[in-house]
Amino acid sequence: MTTDHRTRRNYLNANYSIWSWLFTTDHKRVGILYLLSVTFFFFIGGAAAVLFRLELMTPRGDLTLPETYNKLFTLHGIVMIFFFLVPSIPAVLGNFFLPMMIGARDVAFPRLNLASWYIFITGGLFTIWAIVTGGVDTGWTFYTPYSSTYGNTNVIAAALGVFIAGFSSILTGLNFIVTTHTMRAPGMRWFRLPLFVWAHYATGLIMVLGTPVLAVTLLLLILERALGIGIFDPALGGDPILFQHLFWFYSHPAVYIMVLPAMGVVSEIITCFARNRIFGYRFIAFSSLAIAILGFLVWGHHMFVSGQSMYAGFVFSFLSMLVAVPSAIKVFNWTATLYKGTVTWSTPMLYALGFIGLFTMGGLTGLFLATLAVDVHVHDTYFVVAHFHYIMVGGAVMGYLGGVHFWWPKMTGKLYPENWARFSAILIFFGFNLTFFPQFVLGYLGMPRRYHAYPEQFQVLNVMSSAGASILGVAYLLPLGYLIWSLRYGRRAGRNPWRATGLEWTTPSPPPTENFPDGTPIAGDAYQYSSVDDWDLVLPAPEEHPEEAAV
């Protein structure tokens, strides 16, 4: 045996040719392909945000034309939601780790998995084409009749891009559901599944059942614009509100597509770095399913002022508040897991704790918005913008970055520089709050969203927000830098740098193509953590695993 680890075969060095990546059916490589693509889209969407935050530094519109401003926030919304947030955790971390966590060699349909990436890229190219040939100004919501009849921007290409990308989401969700049902290793009973898997199972259900409704809605919009098949056209007796109903039937559950996987990530991180068994395993597991199901019943809270019936408003208001229950169950269980745990302030833990705080803020302000009378006041103001950014950025992006840091050593076999990572995690938390907290105040004071100019009394808060955004922008670039740096200069990670439980930590880092070189693992109970562990043993250290040497 030799300790020359460079010669050990793993999924990364199994084959270096470009074709071996473009035609791979290895779920880990598909995950990496998604990682590269969503990172690209994240910085495109981020660049748009930088531009309109610059514009909002001053009350008058002096940097961009109003039309350009509209296109910028539309671009930001479409790219961030459909091409970053929806695929981020599921398609990157879910693809990579869901099969490993249940002890499988791959997802149930590896070729479909690769196909989903190509579909995603095709949709992305359509959207980028729509952007570079003039842009879209409908907002990411594509509301009719502006999008179908009056708008004169590239609605068809952008909607087509989102329509196509939707199918990649459906295929990913389908793969997760079937993989969880059929590919579990011996002993991996349902209540031994890591909570990450439960969260992705619930996400898969939403992807499979919600996305097709958005797909057909956008298809109808495209048909209306291109061929005059006027389903939503008021001139023919069509109802533009019907578009909003169909749109939000997907797009509200889509919020849970973004945040449920992040909750799964946080469940893994909290229990690992508190050295404590997860509190209330079954409650967390079932609350994921409850969120997925309830999430389908609340879409009308986006339409309290759109002219839907008052009674529908009552019902949607009540149901929306119900979603807070399973969400709060998760937060309380994570907190209880921390209680009397041996907490370490590692980078993933910082992100996870940030998630809990910011998600709670976002969730509680969601209750404001679910309350009919309050919503009438703050509807379409920056209050709403702040609220959903606390959920999507404070929640989903924090969860994603926490997960990327948590599993980075497994994916690459390298450790990132811990202090840089902690610094940027704290910087992100700080920059995020400075960006979005002032927007709650702005919204409450009455500043409407989606305008490039505003009255002068709002300037101080807007400058604070823009300053926060610039900090946030730098803080997002840091991980890009040091993670790439770690690929070459990072210390070797060993199999299990965090001494985490879970089957994915029982294989070499990076894992070999077949995942478990010693044969299918046998699963035991999840989260066998004990706070009596000596944490000194847990700090990352270059481990020597002679058995991982070249075969």
Partner 1 sequence: MTMSVAHHFDDVEQQKHAATLGMWVFLASEVLFFGGLLAGYAVYRALYPEGFAAGSRHLDLWLGTLNTAVLLTSSLTVALSVEAIYSGNRRRAGYLLAFTIVLGIAFLTVKGFEYAHKYHEHLVPGAHFQFVDHAEGDAPPQGVELFFSCYFALTGLHAVHMVIGIGLFGVLVFELLREKGNAPSPLRIEVAGLYWHFVDVVWVFLFPLLYLIHVAE
Q: Does residue 295 bind partner 1 (CB under 8 A)? A: no
Task: Answer for the pair 75, 48: CB distance below 8 angstroms, yes or no.
Answer: yes
Residue 160 is encoded by which pair of tokens?
């087509």
Q: Quick check: 264 and 197 in contact, CB under 8 A?
A: yes
Angle of helix 66-78 versus helix 27-55 axis, rounded to 10:
160
Tell me: does residue 238 bind partner 1 (CB under 8 A): yes
Does position 102 interact with partner 1 (CB under 8 A)? The reply is: no
Q: How many CA atoms lie within 13 A of 110 on its CB side?
A: 15
Q: From the list 50, 54, 63, 178, which residue makes contact with partner 1 (rule: CB under 8 A)?
A: 178
188 touches partner 1 by CB under 8 A: no
Answer for which of 91, 195, 246, 290 binds partner 1 (CB under 8 A) is: 246
Cβ burial, residue 530 (10 Å; 0-12/13-18/19+): exposed
CA proximity to 154, closest of 124, 123, 126, 122? 126
Residue 522 touching partner 1 (CB under 8 A)? no
Asked whether position 228 contacts partner 1 by CB under 8 A, the answer is: yes
- The single-letter DSSP state of residue 150 is I
Q: Which residues of 430-447 are buried (b: 16+ CB within 10 A; e: fewer)?
A: ebbbbbbbbbbbbbbeeb
Q: Does 182 bind partner 1 (CB under 8 A)?
A: yes
Under the binding rule (CB under 8 A), the answer on residue 299 touching partner 1 is no
> DSSP readout, 385-406?
HHHHHHHIIIIIIHHHHHHHHH
CB of 223 or CB of 329, closer to partner 1: 223
User: Nearer Cβ to partner 1, position 229 or 551?
Assistant: 229
Q: Which residues of 495-526 are buried (b: 16+ CB within 10 A; e: fewer)?
A: bbbbbbbbbbbbbbbbbbbebbbeeebebeeb
CA 208, 209, 211, 213 dihedral sign is positive
Q: Report the amino acid identity of residue 412.
A: T
Please report which helix (H) or strand (E) contains residue 27, including its range: helix 27-55
Q: 492: which strand partners?
A: 414
Query: Closer CB to partner 1, residue 210 or residue 490?
Result: 210
Handedness of CA 179, 185, 191, 194 (dihedral sign): negative
Least distance from partner 1 to the Cβ atom of residue 222, Å: 11
| Tokens 């996400």, residue located | 203
Q: Does 197 bind partner 1 (CB under 8 A)?
A: no
Member of 108, 193, 319, 343 binding partner 1 (CB under 8 A): 108
The distance of closest approach from Cβ of residue 469 to partner 1 in the complex, given in angstroms and rounded to an integer, is 36
Residue in 59, 135, 139, 212 binding partner 1, rule: CB under 8 A: 212
Tell me the closest approach of the beta carbon of residue 108 to partner 1, in angstroms.
Answer: 4
Q: Verify binding: residue 336, partner 1, rule CB under 8 A.
A: no
187 binds partner 1 (CB under 8 A): no
DSSP H or E stretch at residue 132:
helix 110-132
Choice between 266 and 294, CB closer to partner 1: 294
Nearer to partner 1, 130 or 170 (CB): 170
Among the candidate windows 189-197, 237-245, 376-384, 401-409, which touches partner 1 by CB under 8 A? 237-245
Euclidean distance between CA atoms 184 and 351, whole angstroms: 29
Number of H helices, E strands in the chain: 18, 0
Q: Does 438 bind partner 1 (CB under 8 A)?
A: no
The footprint of partner 1 on residues 247-276 (CB under 8 A) is 249
Between 211 and 267, CB nearer to partner 1: 211
The reply to whether 293 sits near partner 1 by the rule CB under 8 A is: no
Considering only 220, 292, 338, 350, the residue that binds partner 1 (CB under 8 A) is 220
Residue 492: what are its φ and ψ, rounded to 5°?
Answer: -65, 145
Measured CA to CA, the distance from residue 414 to residue 90 in angstroms comes to 22
Distance in Å, CB of 147 to partner 1, minimum? 16
Per CB under 8 A, does 9 bind partner 1?
Answer: no
The answer to the question of residue 234 lying near partner 1 (CB under 8 A) is no
Q: How many residues contact partner 1, by CB under 8 A? A: 42
Q: Which residue among 3, 118, 181, 187 contacts partner 1 (CB under 8 A)?
A: 181
Interface with partner 1, residue 385, by CB under 8 A: no
- Binding to partner 1 by residue 403, rule CB under 8 A? no
By CB under 8 A, tell whether 474 contacts partner 1. no
Only segment of 42-50, 73-81, 210-218, 265-273 that touches partner 1 (CB under 8 A): 210-218
Asked if 482 and 421 count as a contact pair (C-beta separation under 8 A), the reply is yes
Q: Decide: 383 and 444 in contact? Cβ < 8 Å.
A: yes
Using an 8 Å Cβ cutoff, are 175 and 109 in contact? yes
Q: Could you tell me the smallest distance in angstroms from the CB atom of residue 214 to partner 1? A: 8
Pick between residue 107 and residue 349 the one whose CB is nearest to partner 1: 107
Phi, psi of 349 (to 5 degrees): -65, -40
Among 170, 260, 421, 500, binds partner 1 (CB under 8 A): 170
Q: Which residues bind partner 1 (CB under 8 A)?
A: 104-110, 112, 170, 174, 177-179, 181-183, 208-213, 215-217, 219-220, 223, 227-231, 236-239, 242, 245-246, 249, 520
